[in-house]
Structure 1
Protein backbone atom coordinates (compact mmCIF):
# COMPACT_ATOMS: atom_id res chain seq x y z
CA UNK A 1 0.00 0.00 0.00
CA UNK A 2 2.90 2.35 0.69
CA UNK A 3 4.07 1.99 -2.92
CA UNK A 4 0.69 3.10 -4.26
CA UNK A 5 0.80 6.24 -2.10
CA UNK A 6 4.33 7.01 -3.27
CA UNK A 7 3.39 6.49 -6.91
CA UNK A 8 0.41 8.81 -6.50
CA UNK A 9 2.64 11.62 -5.23
CA UNK A 10 4.46 11.64 -8.58
CA UNK A 11 1.33 12.02 -10.70
CA UNK A 12 1.42 15.38 -12.46
CA UNK A 13 -1.78 17.33 -11.95
CA UNK A 14 -3.10 19.41 -14.86
CA UNK A 15 -1.98 23.01 -14.46
CA UNK A 16 -4.87 25.45 -14.64
CA UNK A 17 -4.73 29.24 -14.87
CA UNK A 18 -7.89 30.99 -13.67
CA UNK A 19 -8.21 34.61 -14.85
CA UNK A 20 -11.03 36.19 -12.82
CA UNK A 21 -11.16 39.63 -11.21
CA UNK A 22 -13.85 38.85 -8.61
CA UNK A 23 -12.56 37.33 -5.36
CA UNK A 24 -15.99 35.79 -4.81
CA UNK A 25 -16.01 34.12 -8.24
CA UNK A 26 -12.39 32.92 -7.90
CA UNK A 27 -13.31 31.20 -4.63
CA UNK A 28 -16.53 29.82 -6.10
CA UNK A 29 -14.78 28.37 -9.17
CA UNK A 30 -12.01 26.96 -6.97
CA UNK A 31 -14.61 25.20 -4.79
CA UNK A 32 -16.27 23.73 -7.89
CA UNK A 33 -12.91 22.44 -9.10
CA UNK A 34 -12.25 20.89 -5.67
CA UNK A 35 -15.31 18.69 -6.22
CA UNK A 36 -13.94 17.32 -9.49
CA UNK A 37 -10.61 16.33 -10.93
CA UNK A 38 -7.65 17.63 -8.95
CA UNK A 39 -5.76 20.44 -10.62
CA UNK A 40 -2.77 22.63 -9.84
CA UNK A 41 -4.69 25.94 -9.81
CA UNK A 42 -3.15 29.39 -10.18
CA UNK A 43 -5.57 32.32 -9.93
CA UNK A 44 -4.96 35.87 -11.13
CA UNK A 45 -7.30 38.90 -11.20
CA UNK A 46 -6.17 40.52 -14.46
CA UNK A 47 -4.91 39.95 -17.98
CA UNK A 48 -1.59 41.61 -17.16
CA UNK A 49 -0.99 39.08 -14.38
CA UNK A 50 -2.10 36.26 -16.68
CA UNK A 51 0.50 37.40 -19.22
CA UNK A 52 3.12 37.41 -16.45
CA UNK A 53 2.30 33.81 -15.45
CA UNK A 54 2.09 32.60 -19.06
CA UNK A 55 5.51 34.08 -19.85
CA UNK A 56 7.04 31.99 -17.06
CA UNK A 57 5.10 28.74 -17.06
CA UNK A 58 3.04 26.39 -19.21
CA UNK A 59 -0.58 25.63 -18.43
CA UNK A 60 -2.77 22.74 -19.54
CA UNK A 61 -6.00 24.76 -19.47
CA UNK A 62 -7.10 28.37 -18.95
CA UNK A 63 -10.36 29.39 -17.27
CA UNK A 64 -11.10 32.92 -18.45
CA UNK A 65 -13.63 35.55 -17.47
CA UNK A 66 -14.64 37.93 -20.26
CA UNK A 67 -15.05 41.24 -18.41
CA UNK A 68 -11.73 42.04 -16.75
CA UNK A 69 -10.36 45.37 -15.48
CA UNK A 70 -7.68 45.57 -18.17
CA UNK A 71 -9.49 44.13 -21.18
CA UNK A 72 -11.81 41.51 -22.58
CA UNK A 73 -11.11 37.83 -22.12
CA UNK A 74 -12.21 37.08 -25.68
CA UNK A 75 -9.58 39.51 -27.04
CA UNK A 76 -6.97 37.87 -24.80
CA UNK A 77 -7.98 34.46 -26.20
CA UNK A 78 -7.32 35.79 -29.72
CA UNK A 79 -3.91 36.98 -28.55
CA UNK A 80 -3.12 33.54 -27.11
CA UNK A 81 -4.19 31.76 -30.30
CA UNK A 82 -1.61 33.82 -32.21
CA UNK A 83 1.22 32.84 -29.83
CA UNK A 84 2.78 29.47 -30.73
CA UNK A 85 3.49 28.69 -27.04
CA UNK A 86 -0.18 28.96 -26.08
CA UNK A 87 -2.12 28.44 -29.31
CA UNK A 88 -3.20 24.90 -28.42
CA UNK A 89 -4.00 25.49 -24.74
CA UNK A 90 -7.71 24.83 -24.17
CA UNK A 91 -9.67 27.84 -22.96
CA UNK A 92 -12.93 27.71 -21.03
CA UNK A 93 -14.69 31.07 -20.89
CA UNK A 94 -16.58 31.34 -17.61
CA UNK A 95 -18.73 34.45 -17.92
CA UNK A 96 -21.55 36.02 -15.91
CA UNK A 97 -24.02 36.21 -18.79
CA UNK A 98 -22.73 34.70 -22.04
CA UNK A 99 -24.75 36.38 -24.78
CA UNK A 100 -25.02 35.24 -28.41
CA UNK A 101 -22.51 38.02 -29.24
CA UNK A 102 -20.02 36.59 -26.72
CA UNK A 103 -20.56 33.07 -28.10
CA UNK A 104 -19.83 34.31 -31.64
CA UNK A 105 -16.66 36.13 -30.56
CA UNK A 106 -15.60 33.12 -28.49
CA UNK A 107 -15.98 30.79 -31.45
CA UNK A 108 -13.95 33.19 -33.62
CA UNK A 109 -11.24 33.13 -30.92
CA UNK A 110 -11.35 29.31 -30.86
CA UNK A 111 -12.40 29.20 -27.23
CA UNK A 112 -13.20 25.57 -26.46
CA UNK A 113 -16.16 26.02 -24.12
CA UNK A 114 -18.32 28.97 -23.03
CA UNK A 115 -20.31 28.55 -19.84
CA UNK A 116 -22.00 30.81 -17.31
CA UNK A 117 -20.42 31.05 -13.87
CA UNK A 118 -23.59 29.63 -12.34
CA UNK A 119 -23.46 26.56 -14.60
CA UNK A 120 -19.69 25.89 -14.41
CA UNK A 121 -18.88 22.30 -13.36
CA UNK A 122 -15.70 20.17 -13.23
CA UNK A 123 -16.88 18.41 -16.41
CA UNK A 124 -16.22 21.60 -18.40
CA UNK A 125 -12.56 21.42 -17.43
CA UNK A 126 -12.41 17.69 -18.26
CA UNK A 127 -14.12 18.28 -21.63
CA UNK A 128 -11.65 21.04 -22.56
CA UNK A 129 -8.68 18.85 -21.64
CA UNK A 130 -10.14 15.98 -23.69
CA UNK A 131 -10.67 18.28 -26.70
CA UNK A 132 -7.06 19.43 -26.47
CA UNK A 133 -5.84 15.83 -26.22
CA UNK A 134 -7.88 14.79 -29.25
CA UNK A 135 -6.49 17.69 -31.29
CA UNK A 136 -2.89 16.95 -30.33
CA UNK A 137 -3.38 13.25 -31.17
CA UNK A 138 -4.82 14.18 -34.58
CA UNK A 139 -1.73 16.27 -35.34
CA UNK A 140 0.63 13.34 -34.74
Structure 2
Protein backbone atom coordinates (compact mmCIF):
# COMPACT_ATOMS: atom_id res chain seq x y z
CA UNK A 1 0.00 0.00 0.00
CA UNK A 2 1.27 3.47 -0.90
CA UNK A 3 1.91 5.70 2.11
CA UNK A 4 0.78 9.31 1.80
CA UNK A 5 3.78 10.55 3.76
CA UNK A 6 7.09 9.42 5.19
CA UNK A 7 8.68 10.36 8.49
CA UNK A 8 12.24 10.93 7.34
CA UNK A 9 13.63 11.85 10.77
CA UNK A 10 12.33 11.25 14.25
CA UNK A 11 12.55 14.23 16.59
CA UNK A 12 11.14 15.68 19.78
CA UNK A 13 11.34 19.49 19.64
CA UNK A 14 9.57 20.55 16.42
CA UNK A 15 7.85 18.97 13.43
CA UNK A 16 8.94 20.11 9.96
CA UNK A 17 6.68 19.36 6.99
CA UNK A 18 7.46 19.77 3.30
CA UNK A 19 7.37 18.03 -0.06
CA UNK A 20 9.28 17.78 -3.30
CA UNK A 21 12.57 19.63 -3.67
CA UNK A 22 12.03 21.40 -0.36
CA UNK A 23 12.77 18.18 1.55
CA UNK A 24 16.48 18.52 0.78
CA UNK A 25 16.51 22.07 2.18
CA UNK A 26 14.60 20.92 5.27
CA UNK A 27 17.12 18.12 5.83
CA UNK A 28 19.94 20.68 5.74
CA UNK A 29 18.05 22.79 8.29
CA UNK A 30 17.58 19.70 10.50
CA UNK A 31 21.34 19.06 10.40
CA UNK A 32 22.09 22.69 11.31
CA UNK A 33 19.51 22.64 14.12
CA UNK A 34 20.99 19.41 15.51
CA UNK A 35 24.32 21.24 15.96
CA UNK A 36 22.43 23.57 18.32
CA UNK A 37 20.86 20.65 20.18
CA UNK A 38 17.46 20.93 18.48
CA UNK A 39 15.71 17.68 17.60
CA UNK A 40 13.56 18.02 14.45
CA UNK A 41 11.02 15.52 13.20
CA UNK A 42 10.85 15.75 9.40
CA UNK A 43 7.83 14.59 7.41
CA UNK A 44 7.77 14.34 3.62
CA UNK A 45 4.24 14.74 2.33
CA UNK A 46 4.26 12.59 -0.77
CA UNK A 47 0.81 13.73 -1.86
CA UNK A 48 -1.15 16.92 -1.23
CA UNK A 49 -4.59 15.73 -2.31
CA UNK A 50 -5.12 13.75 -0.15
CA UNK A 51 -2.50 14.67 2.46
CA UNK A 52 -1.65 12.63 5.52
CA UNK A 53 -3.28 14.61 8.32
CA UNK A 54 -3.00 11.73 10.79
CA UNK A 55 0.80 11.43 10.57
CA UNK A 56 1.32 15.19 10.87
CA UNK A 57 -1.17 15.40 13.75
CA UNK A 58 0.56 12.59 15.67
CA UNK A 59 3.92 14.27 15.22
CA UNK A 60 2.68 17.71 16.30
CA UNK A 61 1.04 16.20 19.38
CA UNK A 62 4.47 14.76 20.23
CA UNK A 63 6.55 17.90 19.56
CA UNK A 64 4.03 20.69 20.25
CA UNK A 65 5.34 22.74 17.32
CA UNK A 66 4.98 22.79 13.53
CA UNK A 67 6.87 24.45 10.69
CA UNK A 68 5.65 24.08 7.11
CA UNK A 69 7.90 25.00 4.20
CA UNK A 70 7.18 25.18 0.48
CA UNK A 71 8.35 27.14 -2.54
CA UNK A 72 5.00 28.72 -3.45
CA UNK A 73 4.03 32.13 -2.05
CA UNK A 74 2.95 32.09 1.58
CA UNK A 75 -0.48 33.55 0.76
CA UNK A 76 -2.72 30.94 -0.81
CA UNK A 77 -0.06 28.23 -0.60
CA UNK A 78 -0.86 24.71 0.58
CA UNK A 79 0.96 25.43 3.83
CA UNK A 80 -2.06 27.50 4.85
CA UNK A 81 -4.29 24.42 4.56
CA UNK A 82 -1.87 22.37 6.64
CA UNK A 83 -1.60 25.13 9.25
CA UNK A 84 -5.37 25.50 9.50
CA UNK A 85 -6.05 21.77 9.76
CA UNK A 86 -3.39 21.21 12.40
CA UNK A 87 -4.54 24.23 14.41
CA UNK A 88 -8.04 22.73 14.44
CA UNK A 89 -6.83 19.25 15.39
CA UNK A 90 -4.00 20.15 17.81
CA UNK A 91 -4.91 23.57 19.21
CA UNK A 92 -4.51 22.62 22.86
CA UNK A 93 -1.23 20.80 22.20
CA UNK A 94 0.50 23.59 20.25
CA UNK A 95 3.17 25.43 22.25
CA UNK A 96 3.72 28.06 19.53
CA UNK A 97 1.92 29.35 16.44
CA UNK A 98 2.41 27.26 13.31
CA UNK A 99 5.35 28.68 11.34
CA UNK A 100 5.45 28.88 7.55
CA UNK A 101 8.64 29.44 5.57
CA UNK A 102 7.58 29.88 1.98
CA UNK A 103 8.16 31.95 -1.10
CA UNK A 104 7.51 35.68 -0.96
CA UNK A 105 4.19 37.27 -1.85
CA UNK A 106 5.65 39.21 -4.74
CA UNK A 107 6.55 38.68 -8.38
CA UNK A 108 10.28 38.23 -8.89
CA UNK A 109 12.70 37.88 -11.78
CA UNK A 110 14.34 34.45 -11.99
CA UNK A 111 17.76 35.98 -11.39
CA UNK A 112 16.60 36.73 -7.81
CA UNK A 113 15.22 33.25 -7.13
CA UNK A 114 17.83 32.54 -4.40
CA UNK A 115 16.40 35.47 -2.41
CA UNK A 116 12.82 34.35 -2.99
CA UNK A 117 13.08 30.66 -2.11
CA UNK A 118 13.04 29.21 1.41
CA UNK A 119 16.62 28.43 2.41
CA UNK A 120 18.31 26.42 5.13
CA UNK A 121 19.08 29.61 7.05
CA UNK A 122 15.54 31.01 6.78
CA UNK A 123 14.19 27.70 8.06
CA UNK A 124 16.75 27.50 10.86
CA UNK A 125 15.84 31.03 11.99
CA UNK A 126 12.14 30.07 12.02
CA UNK A 127 12.90 26.89 14.00
CA UNK A 128 14.74 28.91 16.66
CA UNK A 129 12.02 31.57 16.75
CA UNK A 130 9.32 28.92 17.17
CA UNK A 131 11.21 27.19 19.94
CA UNK A 132 11.72 30.46 21.82
CA UNK A 133 8.05 31.46 21.62
Given the two structures, how large is their TM-score scaled by the length of structure 2?
Answer: 0.55
- Aligned residue pairs total 102
Trace 1:33-112 onto structure 2 (pairs within 5 A). Answer: 33-39=33-39, 41-46=40-45, 48-49=51-52, 51-55=54-58, 57-66=61-70, 72-83=78-89, 84-86=91-93, 88-95=95-102, 97-99=103-105
| Structure 1 stretches lacking a partner, 5+ long | 1-12, 101-114, 132-140
**Separation in 1 of the partners of 2:87 and 2:95?**
7
Deviations 1:53-82 (A, max 9, x none): 4236422321202459xx811111122222
Deviations 1:85-135 (A, max 9, x none): 45554322122x2215xxxxxxxxxxxxxx93254154432322232xxxx
Given the two structures, how large is their TM-score scaled by the length of structure 1?
Answer: 0.53
**Residues 51, 94 of structure 1: alpha-carbon distance in 2 compared, 3 angstrom cutoff:** farther
Aligned to 2:6: none
The CA RMSD over aligned residues, in Å, is 3.3
**Separation in 2 of the partners of 1:73 and 1:86?**
19
Structure number with the bigger relative contact order (C-alpha 8 A, sep ≥ 6) is 2
Looking at CA atoms only, which structure, 1 or 2, has the larger radius of gyration?
1
Aligned to 1:25: 25
**Separation in 1 of the partners of 2:14 and 2:57?**
11
Q: 1:129 aligns with which of 110, 128, 131?
A: 131
